[in-house]
Structures are given as structure tokens and as C-alpha cells.
């Protein structure tokens, strides 16, 4: 039925294109001066039908289930729901019956309701096709009547297309806000159970809670500091390793490497960015961590199996192409005239890079580094695999730490009750992560914008 | 082809600062300069004129080896600065560029303070023994570029914040600060308004007292105003070289005459 509706509206809009275009051309052949080309009259008819009809169809599909469910439930015999604790369960059962999945022997009123539901479904589908057909026909007539020499179809098409583009950009914004709101609402529920001050300033993170009364477990402690400290340690390690390497490689590739080397090295460097993070995780846990442990043992330094250094170091490899390509862009954006100016003064190449190009490129580079920081903070897969699970108040990169992202994953995996602070804590952590990375991104963009030199 | 003997007999041998013989420049397979011979005088402003793409900027960039930075550029022949072949393998191009300063078509101040822009050359070449010394060099260079009075109270402000004409004079000050012997100027006024242009031209006239100045220009009026010697380039050839007055009033070559009367260009 949905397919039929779409076929109808598509053919109606194509027909509108043909009819209106022909009508416009006929006007022209009669010697009238058209404001817009015939094609625009056709396009106007096409869009005038296509856009509203598609919107109506999609809305119909989205909303029909809710309406059908309400109608079915309200038509149940009086008293059928009286002994039911949860009407939602009855509805699910009726829905399964309507789709032909029968468990046991359902009461006759349920079977009746299922049948009624199927009838409603069928009617709804036919009604949708009818509405789409009627709408298309009306809009076809409307657009056909508008074809006239003075009608500004070209501008009208432009307005419709602009409206479509505005809608598309709004979708991204609205979805973002939706995500933030869902985080905020769940976090508010969490903060009703755990005070905000305890969450922000507590130094113990032990989210294990008894799910049933007879379970013996920790009573739960939700102090975010050790978790956040873990994120900071790993991020610091990742940035401390990736920034110098990324920067130096960018400078070398941009300023010193000959063209052939650059043509080979740059794609390889960018290949690093295409490696799935789960592969980096593998590398961290199977190669880097054991190697670190072996070196530690050789030197007599105690090294944990899941070190912040291993996770951060591998994350650094992931960030190198990111920083390097940002720095490369920033260096390339420095105008050639500055380079020539320094060289003509008798500066060597490295003096030119260090004293002139680098300061000119620094805003772009700082922006790139800050974006890399927010990526490191939000990175999940590598740390899930390579970092630890226990939250510890430590700054030692050779110790095992956990991160905000790791905790979110572990809190939401397995048997969870959605009203327990343990689960809701994940949303609070997510909200916090969102706020921190948001601020870092805003800061990065401001720095890039404020200190960008204006070269005309 | 014009022969250089007329100039060389007219002036004594010591006055020649830069002498080029049989210079040819190639960009890849394309020949940009064909067999240029010229003697450029000390303490003189020499103008290179000619239509676009005639090789005058290319030849200018040979004199401080800026063409070295272009991968495909190749140069043959000989350019001597005070008798020393600058393309000799023992010559360090970095040192050469400290002796032969350059000012570009578009003002290109570094994204640093006015002071640091001027101090950059002296710093990398170690010309100042201490801060007071450096201050003195910066002030002298800015005075030399007729910019001191306009910027003396805001030396710490970024050089990019100056007006176009001020930026160009800052670039001249920057080039002068390393006390070069030769100053090359590649269309230094083409991005400037008429007032800034006349200021820079006045400055060029003063610079003649201390340097050998070579200026590439598209404006024949400018060449006539600022230079004592003029070289006319056409299609990679040095067509005619002589006193500016002679070139503009009694050109020897029909191509020169065609150019200065506006028939080619």
C-alpha cells in the first residue's frame, strides 16, 4: 500500500511536470513572453506535488500505529482491562495475535480485538492512498492554473528548493537537541537519586548496586573524579605522543620532503585514519600492553596489564594523521609570499619554518590539537579493549585506569534496570562528556577564528 | 642584439656591482631568459621594464638565487657580485641573500610585531651584539624606510595591521636592516595607491645613496622617475640597456621604441 501511494505521488508529480511545461510552451508558441522557461513551470508543478505528498505519506506512516492502537484499546469490551495490571501487555498480545503469532489459547475478546486491529490497518492503508491521490490531484490542478506568462515559476522553484535545504539543515540540529534532551532528562533522574555534589566531587566510583534485595553487593558510590582522572591521564598520554609526531611529520612533508616522497608518505599517513578503532584496540591489548609489561619487568618497574600508557599510546597513533593533516593544511595556507620574504632575507629553510611559517600557522594547529583532544576524550573502542575497569585516583600512566567512555559501556551492558542509579549514571557520565567536549570544540573554533591572520 | 660595451666604456670598471654574462634560465623545457649580458652599477637605480612575461622578474630573482626555491628552474651562464660568481658551489645562497635584499610585489610582513619584522634579519645573521644595538639597527632601518615617525610609538603592534603603503615600507625596512649591498625590488608599487607609491618612489631615490637598487616595474613613468639606468626586456631577451634618459628619448632598437610608445606590451 505504501508502495502504491509513492507510485501515485511520483507519477502525479511527473505528470504535473509534463503538463505544466507543455502548457507553458503552448503559451510561448502563441506569442506570449514567458517570465520563466517552460522547464521551471514544469519543475514548479513537480515540486508542488512531490513535497507535500511525501510529507503527508511519511507522517501518516509514522502516526498511524499510535492511532490504531488507541482505537483498538478503546474498543475493548468494558471490564476487560479491569483485572489487568498493565494494559501495555494486553496491547502487545493483541499486536502479536494480529500478526498471526498465537501463544496458548487467548480469550475470544482478544482475538476479536486483533481482527479489528487488522481491519483498521487495512482501512488506514487505503485511506492513505486515497488521501495521497486526492492531494496530488488538487495540487496538480492548482499548479496547472498557475501557469501564466507572468507567473515567476523560476523564483517559486528556488523558494521551494531553499525551503527543502533549510529543512535538511534543521534535521541535524533537531536531532542533536533531541540527543541532548534525552541525556539531560535521564541525568535529572540520576541526580534525584545521587546528589550532584557527590557525583562531581566524590573520589570513589563503585557503581555495582544490588539489583534484588537479597543480593550482596557494594552499596554503590558515584564519585566521578577517579573516572575523569583516568580519561585525563589517557588523553594526556595520547596528546603528548601524537602532537610532536604529527606536527613534525607535517612540517617535514610540507616543507622539506621532495614531491615524490610526499606523494607516497601522505596517503600512507592518511591510511592510519581509516583503520577501525577496534583494530587499534587489538593492537593495544595484544602487542603494546605485553611489550610494555616486558620492558617494565626488565627494568624492575611494576607495570599493570592494562596501562594508561598502552591505551593512550595507541590512541596517539590514531590521532597522528588527524593532527598531521590539520597542521599540513595550516602550513599550506600560509601564503607563499611570507616564505619568499623570509628566504630573501637570508633565512634557512628551518629558520623560515620555525620563525615565520609556524607562528602564522599556529591558530590552525592549536585548533587541530584541541579537536584531537576532544576526540581522545570521547574515544571508546580502544580504551574499552585496552584500559582497565577499576577507577583509581592515580596519575601514574603505568597503572591501570578507566575512562568515562569505558564506564558508560560497562554500565549499560548486561542485565540492567532502567530505574537504577547504576544505569542512569551512564547518562550522567555521557552528559558530562558531552559538556566537556562541547566546550573544547567551542574553544578550538574560537581560537582558530580569533587568531587567524587575514591574508587577502 | 644590443652590446654592453657602450655602458662599460662609459663608466669605470669598479662601479659595476653585478655583472651577468650569457645568462639563460629555463623553467622545465621553457626558456625564460635568453643570453642576457648586463653590468649593473653600484649606487644607482636600475629599472627593468618590458611587457608581462618578458623575463624581467625571472632575471631579478636570479640575482639573489630566489629561483633556487623553484624545483623546475635551471640557470646557465654567470652572474658576478663584486667579481665573485654567485652560482659558484662555494657560495652559500643563504649568505648571498643577506647581501642582496629583496622587496616583493605584494607587501608581505611577517605575522609578528613591527619591531620583530625589522629585527628578523639582523637576528638570524647575528648583526647585533646586544639589545641596544638591535634597537639602533631597527630604528635606523625604519628611518631609512621613512617609516620611523609613523610607527615609533607602536613598534610592538603587528606589522600586518599597517596600511598597504606602510607595510611595503616596512618590508623595505626589513630588507635594509640586514645592510645589504644590493636591493632588488619586484614591482614594489603595483599593490599601492598613488600616494603610497610616491612615498616609496621618494624612498627609492634616497636608497640610491647607499645601495645598488634594481627595480622591476610595469610603469614606464615610474622607471623614468626613479631610475638612472634602464634595461628593456622582450621575450626573454635583454633588448636594450642604457641611461634612462637615452632609452626614453632616443631608443636604439625598434622594439624598445614600440614598447615605450605603447605599441607592444
Cβ neighbours of B96 in A, within 8 Å: 346
Helix (H, G, I), strand (E, B) or coil at A202: coil
> What are the mean pLDDT values of chain A's consecutive 10-residue runs (456 residues total)?
87 93 90 88 92 92 88 77 71 84 79 86 90 93 89 92 94 93 91 88 79 61 88 94 94 88 88 89 91 90 88 93 90 88 91 88 87 91 87 86 90 77 88 92 82 56
How many other CB atoms sit within 10 Å of the CB of residue A274?
Answer: 7
CA distance A206 to A187: 18
Residues of B with CB under 8 A from a CB of A: 64, 66, 69, 71, 94-98, 101-102, 104, 106, 108-112, 120-121, 124-125, 160, 171, 174-175, 178
Q: Are B191 and B107 in contact (CB under 8 A)?
A: yes
The strand pairing partners of B77, in sequence order, are none
CB–CB of B104 and A359 under 8 A?
Answer: no
Cβ neighbours of A342 in B, within 8 Å: 110, 120
Cβ neighbours of A453 in B, within 8 Å: 111, 160
Question: Helix A308-333 to helix A358-378 angle, to the nearest 10 degrees?
Answer: 150
CA distance B115 to B124: 14
CA distance B194 to A269: 50
Of A360, A340, A352, A325, nearest in space to A454 by CA:
A360
How many other CB atoms sit within 10 Å of the CB of residue A375?
Answer: 17
Question: For residue A293, what is its C-alpha cell?
Answer: 609489561
CB within 8 Å of A216: residues ≥ 6 apart: A210
* Order of strands across the sheet that contains B45-49: B100-103, B182-186, B212-216, B45-49, B229-234, B237-243
Domains of chain B, first to last:
5-260 (3.40.50.300)
By Cβ distance, the residue of B108, B112, B160 closest to A337 is B108
Which of A344, A357, A362 should we substitute to test contact with B (largest number of B Cβ atoms within 10 Å)? Answer: A344
Which of A346, A348, A357, A363 should we substitute to test contact with B (largest number of B Cβ atoms within 10 Å)? Answer: A346
Q: Are A402 and A184 in contact (CB under 8 A)?
A: no
- Please spell the DSSP secondary structure of chain B, one letter per residue: ---THHHHHHS-GGGEEEEEEEEEEEETTEEEEEEEEEEEETT-EEEEE-STTSSHHHHHHHHTTGGGGSTTEEEEEEEEETTEETTSTTS-HHHHHHHEEEE-SS----SSBHHHHHHHHHHHHT--SSHHHHHHHHHHHHHHTT-HHHHTT-TTSBGGGS-HHHHHHHHHHHHHTT--SEEEEESTTTTS-HHHHHHHHHHHHHHTTTSEEEEE-S-HHHHHHH-SEEEEEETTEEEEEEEHHHHHHS-SSHHHHHHHTTS--
Parts of chain B with a pLDDT under 50: 1-10
How many other CB atoms sit within 10 Å of the CB of residue B152?
Answer: 12
Upper half-sphere CA count for residue A450 (Cβ side, 13 Å): 8
By Cβ distance, the residue of A338, A344, A454 closest to B97 is A344
Residue-range domain boundaries for chain A: 2-161, 221-451
> Sign of the C-alpha dihedral, residues A363, A364, A365, A371?
positive
Cβ neighbours of A339 in B, within 8 Å: 69
Four-way CATH pick for A221-451: 1.10.3720.10, 2.60.120.10, 1.10.287.110, 3.40.50.150: 1.10.3720.10
Per-residue confidence (pLDDT) for residue B121, from 0 to 100 = 92
Of A321, A300, A324, A331, nearest in space to A398 by CA:
A300
ipTM over 0.90: no
Calculated CA dihedral for residues B165, B171, B174, B180, nearest 10 degrees:
-110
Buried b vs exposed e over A102-121: b needs ≥16 C-beta within 10 Å? eeeebeeebebbbebbbebb
Cβ neighbours of B97 in A, within 8 Å: 343-346
Q: Are B25 and B264 in contact (CB under 8 A)?
A: no
Question: Helix A225-251 to helix A308-333 angle, to the nearest 10 degrees?
Answer: 40
Per-residue confidence (pLDDT) for residue B44, from 0 to 100 = 93
CB within 8 Å of A51: residues ≥ 6 apart: A160, A163, A164
Question: For residue A402, what is its C-alpha cell?
Answer: 578507566
Type and span of the H or E element at A36:
none
By Cβ distance, the residue of B71, B120, B125 closest to A355 is B120
Per-residue confidence (pLDDT) for residue B4, from 0 to 100 = 47
Share of chain A above pLDDT 70, in %: 95
CA distance B87 to B44: 24
Q: Are A255 and A331 in contact (CB under 8 A)?
A: yes
Alpha carbon separation from A213 to A209, A217, A218, B204 (Å, rounded): 10, 10, 12, 93
CA distance B149 to B172: 15
A332 CA to chain B: closest CA distance, Å?
Answer: 15
B157 CA to chain A: closest CA distance, Å?
Answer: 14
B259 CA to chain A: closest CA distance, Å?
Answer: 30
Taking only the tens place, the pLDDT of each residue in B134-180 is 999 999 999 888 899 999 999 999 998 899 889 999 999 999 999 89
Question: For residue A252, what is its C-alpha cell?
Answer: 617535514
φ and ψ at residue A147, rounded to 5 degrees:
-65, 115
Pairing status of strand B237-243 against strand B229-234: antiparallel
CA B155 from centre of chain: 26
Per-residue confidence (pLDDT) for residue A86, from 0 to 100 = 72
Per-residue confidence (pLDDT) for residue B9, from 0 to 100 = 44
CB–CB of B66 and A344 under 8 A?
Answer: yes
Cβ neighbours of A359 in B, within 8 Å: 110-112
B263 CA to chain A: closest CA distance, Å?
Answer: 33
CA distance A48 to A144: 11
Cβ neighbours of B124 in A, within 8 Å: 345-347, 351, 355
CB–CB of B101 and A351 under 8 A?
Answer: no
By Cβ distance, the residue of B96, B110, B124 closest to A341 is B110
- Closest chain B CA to residue A340: B66
Question: For residue A261, what is its C-alpha cell?
Answer: 616522497
A347 CA to chain B: closest CA distance, Å?
Answer: 6
CA distance B104 to A109: 92
Amino acid at each position: 500500500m505504501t508502495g502504491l501511494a509513492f507510485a501515485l505521488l511520483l507519477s502525479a508529480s511527473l505528470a504535473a511536470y509534463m503538463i505544466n511545461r507543455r502548457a507553458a510552451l503552448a503559451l510561448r508558441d502563441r506569442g506570449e513572453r514567458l517570465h520563466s522557461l517552460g522547464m521551471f513551470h514544469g519543475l514548479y508543478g513537480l515540486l508542488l506535488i512531490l513535497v507535500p505528498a511525501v510529507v503527508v505519506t511519511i507522517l501518516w506512516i509514522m502516526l498511524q500505529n499510535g492511532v490504531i492502537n488507541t482505537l483498538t484499546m478503546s474498543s475493548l469490551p468494558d471490564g476487560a482491562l479491569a483485572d489487568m495490571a498493565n494494559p501495555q501487555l494486553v496491547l502487545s498480545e493483541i499486536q502479536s495475535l494480529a500478526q498471526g503469532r498465537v501463544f496458548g489459547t487467548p480469550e475470544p475478546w482478544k482475538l476479536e480485538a486483533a481482527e479489528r486491529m487488522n481491519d483498521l490497518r487495512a482501512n488506514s492503508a487505503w485511506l492513505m492512498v486515497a488521501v495521497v491521490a486526492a492531494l496530488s490531484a488538487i495540487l496538480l490542478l492548482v499548479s496547472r492554473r498557475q501557469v501564466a506568462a507572468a507567473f515567476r515559476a523560476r523564483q517559486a522553484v528556488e523558494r521551494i528548493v531553499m525551503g527543502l535545504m533549510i529543512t535538511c539543515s534543521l534535521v541535524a540540529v533537531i536531532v542533536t537537541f533531541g540527543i541532548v534532551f534525552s541525556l539531560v532528562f535521564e541525568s535529572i533522574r540520576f541526580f534525584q537519586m545521587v546528589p550532584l555534589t557527590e557525583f562531581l566531587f566524590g573520589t570513589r566510583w563503585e557503581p555495582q548496586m544490588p539489583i534484588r534485595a537479597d543480593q550482596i553487593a557494594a552499596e554503590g558510590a558515584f564519585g566521578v573524579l577517579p573516572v575523569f582522572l583516568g580519561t585525563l591521564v589517557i588523553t594526556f598520554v595520547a596528546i603528548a605522543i601524537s602532537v610532536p609526531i604529527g606536527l613534525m611529520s607535517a612540517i617535514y612533508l610540507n616543507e622539506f620532503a621532495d614531491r615524490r616522497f610526499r606523494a607516497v608518505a601522505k596517503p600512507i599517513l592518511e591510511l592510519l585514519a581509516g583503520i577501525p578503532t577496534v583494530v587499534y584496540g587489538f593492537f593495544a591489548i595484544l602487542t603494546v600492553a605485553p611489550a610494555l609489561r616486558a620492558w617494565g619487568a626488565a627494568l624492575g618497574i611494576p607495570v599493570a596489564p592494562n596501562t594508561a600508557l598502552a591505551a593512550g599510546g595507541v590512541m596517539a597513533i590514531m590521532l597522528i594523521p588527524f593532527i598531521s593533516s590539520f597542521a599540513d593544511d595550516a602550513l599550506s595556507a600560509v601564503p607563499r609570499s611570507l616564505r619568499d620574504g623570509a628566504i630573501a632575507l637570508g633565512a634557512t629553510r628551518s629558520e623560515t619554518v620555525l620563525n615565520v611559517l609556524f607562528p602564522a600557522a599556529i591558530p590552525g594547529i592549536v585548533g587541530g590539537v584541541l579537536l584531537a583532544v576532544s576526540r581522545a576524550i570521547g574515544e571508546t573502542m580502544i580504551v574499552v579493549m585496552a584500559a582497565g575497569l577499576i577507577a583509581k585516583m592515580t596519575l601514574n600512566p603505568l597503572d591501570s585506569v578507566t575512562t568515562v567512555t569505558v564506564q558508560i559501556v560497562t554500565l549499560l551492558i548486561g542485565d540492567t534496570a532502567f530505574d537504577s542509579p547504576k544505569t542512569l549514571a551512564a547518562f550522567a557520565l555521557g552528559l558530562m562528556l558531552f559538556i566537556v567536549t562541547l566546550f573544547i570544540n567551542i574553544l578550538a573554533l574560537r581560537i582558530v577564528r580569533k587568531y587567524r591572520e587575514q591574508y587577502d | 642584439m644590443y652590446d654592453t660595451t657602450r655602458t662599460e666604456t662609459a663608466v669605470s670598471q669598479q662601479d659595476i656591482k653585478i655583472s651577468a654574462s650569457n645568462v639563460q634560465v629555463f623553467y622545465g623545457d621553457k626558456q625564460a631568459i635568453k643570453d642576457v649580458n648586463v653590468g649593473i652599477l653600484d649606487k644607482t637605480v636600475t629599472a627593468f621594464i618590458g611587457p608581462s612575461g618578458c623575463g624581467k622578474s625571472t632575471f631579478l630573482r636570479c640575482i639573489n638565487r630566489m629561483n633556487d626555491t623553484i624545483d623546475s628552474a635551471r640557470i646557465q651562464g654567470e652572474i658576478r657580485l663584486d667579481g665573485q660568481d654567485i652560482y659558484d658551489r662555494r657560495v652559500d645562497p643563504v649568505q648571498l641573500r643577506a647581501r642582496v635584499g629583496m622587496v616583493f610585489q605584494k607587501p608581505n610582513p611577517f605575522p609578528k610585531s613591527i619591531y620583530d619584522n625589522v629585527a628578523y634579519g639582523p637576528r638570524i645573521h647575528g648583526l647585533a651584539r646586544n639589545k641596544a644595538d638591535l634597537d639602533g639597527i631597527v630604528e635606523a632601518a625604519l628611518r631609512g624606510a621613512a617609516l620611523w615617525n609613523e610607527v615609533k610609538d607602536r613598534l610592538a603592534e603587528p606589522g600586518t595591521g599597517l596600511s598597504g603603503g606602510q607595510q611595503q615600507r616596512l618590508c623595505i625596512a626589513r630588507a635594509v636592516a640586514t645592510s645589504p649591498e644590493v636591493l632588488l625590488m619586484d614591482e614594489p608599487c603595483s599593490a599601492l595607491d598613488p600616494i603610497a607609491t610616491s612615498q616609496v618612489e621618494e624612498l627609492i631615490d634616497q636608497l640610491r645613496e647607499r645601495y645598488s637598487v634594481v627595480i622591476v616595474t610595469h610603469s614606464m613613468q615610474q622607471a623614468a622617475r626613479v631610475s638612472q639606468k634602464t634595461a628593456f626586456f622582450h621575450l626573454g631577451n635583454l633588448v636594450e640597456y642604457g641611461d634612462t634618459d637615452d632609452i626614453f628619448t632616443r631608443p636604439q632598437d625598434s622594439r624598445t621604441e614600440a614598447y615605450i610608445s605603447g605599441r607592444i606590451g
